Amino acid sequence: MSKFGVIVGSIRKNSYSKGVAEAIVKGLPDNSEVTYLSISDLPLYNQDYDSESIAIYDDFRAQVREQDAFIFVTPEHNRSIPAALKNALDVASRPWGQNSWADKPALVASQSLSGIAGVLANHILRQSLVFLDMPTLQQPELYIGNIQSLTDDETGEVNNEDTKVFLANAGKQFADFASKFK
C-alpha cells in the first residue's frame, strides 16, 4: 500500500483544482491511502517561527513526512502558483536542512479557465519541486485548459468523460512511477 498526499493549490470551495485532483485519484490502486492535506489555514511562513514550536506548522510537516508521494493540482494565479501553495511548500521545507518533501515522488497538474491551461503555474511549481528534491513524473503532461467546459460549475467535479479517463490514466501512471521510489 502507498500513501498519496494530495495538495490542491486552490483554497476555494468546490475548486476546479479539487475536481481535477479527485479525477486523478480515481486512477490510483484500490489499496492506496489518500490524504488531502489542507493548506488554507497555514500562517505565512516566517523564519522567526523556526526557533519556536508552531503547532500548525509541526502538524503539517508531520503530515507531509507521512506520505510516500504527492499529487499537486494548481490553478494559475497571475502567471504563477497561488500564494497558499507556495506557502505550503515553504512551511514543509523548513527549517533549513529539514525538508519534509525530499525524495517524495510528485505529479503536477494545472488547470485554467483559459486555453493556456496553467502552463506557467505548472512549470513554476515543477521548478520548486526540483529544488525540494522531489522526482517528478514528466509524462503525461497535465495541462487542463478551458476547465469550466469540462466540469460541473457548482461542484468543480470533472464531468467530461474523455477528461476523466485521461486523468485517471495519469493517476495510474503516477502510481507506477512512484512505486519505483519505495
User: Given a cut of 80, is residue 23 above it in pLDDT?
Assistant: yes
**14 or 25, greater pLDDT:** 25
pTM for the model stands at 0.96
Asked which of 49-53, 126-130, 177-181 is least confident by mean pLDDT, the reply is 49-53
Q: What is the Cβ-side half-sphere exposure of residue 43, based on CA atoms within 13 angstroms?
A: 11
User: Given a cut of 90, is residue 171 above it in pLDDT?
Assistant: yes
Q: How confident is the model at residue 153 (pLDDT cuts 50, 70, 90)?
A: confident
Q: Does residue 142 sit in helix, strand or coil?
A: strand
- Strand ranges of the sheet holding 106-111, from the earlier edge strand across to the other edge: 33-36, 3-8, 69-75, 106-111, 142-144
Q: How confident is the model at residue 52 (pLDDT cuts 50, 70, 90)?
A: confident
Positive or negative: CA dihedral 103, 33, 161, 38: negative
**57 or 117, greater pLDDT:** 57
CATH 3.40.50.360 fits 3-179, yes or no: yes
Mean confidence (pLDDT) of the chain:
95
Could you tell me what percentage of the chain is helix, strand and coil, using 3-state DSSP and rounding each to the nearest 5? 40, 15, 45
Q: How confident is the model at residue 117 (pLDDT cuts 50, 70, 90)?
A: confident
Mean pLDDT value of segment 60-75: 98
DSSP summary character for residue 47? G
The distance in angstroms from the start CA to the end CA of the chain is: 11
Domain ranges, ordered by start, for the chain: 3-179
Mean pLDDT value of segment 67-86: 96
Alpha-carbon span 160 to 120, nearest angstrom: 24
Q: How confident is the model at residue 148 (pLDDT cuts 50, 70, 90)?
A: very high
- 175, 32 Cβ separation under 8 angstroms: yes
Q: Categorise residue 125: left if φ over 0, alpha if ψ from -120 to 50, beta otherwise.
A: alpha
Q: How confident is the model at residue 78 (pLDDT cuts 50, 70, 90)?
A: very high
Closest listed residue to residue 142, CA positions, set 7, 17, 14, 54? 17
Mean pLDDT value of segment 143-148: 95
Q: Does residue 69 sit in helix, strand or coil?
A: strand
The residue with cell 511549481 is 125
- The pLDDT score that the predictor gives to residue 51 is 83
Quote the crossing angle between the two packed helices 119-131 and 83-92, to the nearest 10°. 10
